[in-house]
Structure 1
Amino acid sequence: MDTVERATAGEKITDAEAARDELQAALAGVGITLPSLGLDGPSLAADAPRPLVELGRCAPDVARRLAAALRCTGRER
């Protein structure tokens, strides 16, 4: 991997981290925490990473609150 490819890979990872942080902040704004929210390790490990945001697992009550928040947002559109 050359310097340009390394910079591009770093930018992709930085972008994925920013997306994760945006989602975490938006969820916190409606009182929801996804405890396993993070970046998917294997998607970062390739020579040309294609980072994925891992939503992880949550308790049933959190899933219901998330569904309710999405329904409310859908009604506002």
Structure 2
Amino acid sequence: MWHLEAFDNDTELRTAKYLLHDMTVEIVKEILGIDDSDFELPVIAGQSGVPHDKVLEFAKYIHEPIEVDPNCEYEVGLFAD
């Protein structure tokens, strides 16, 4: 399953993890503007950083409220659940 995670900038600890329902690699690449055709590993193989202005684009795939914390870094990734 795809997840969006928030990590506190001060402690580097994960502060939130959101399940992204109906997410696909194509949607992730479109939101983040990624073309992984020249990468050694595809986007699906790791976590990708999410700029603050893109976090809310992922929110429509989350079934719970989300607020963007300016003191957090966000990452999206595919995890086995």
TM-score w.r.t. length of structure 2: 0.27
Q: Which has the higher contact order (CA 8 A, sep 6+)?
A: 2
Whose strand proportion is higher, 1 or 2? 2
Whose helix proportion is higher, 1 or 2? 1
Greater CA radius of gyration, 1 or 2? 1
TM-score w.r.t. length of structure 1: 0.27
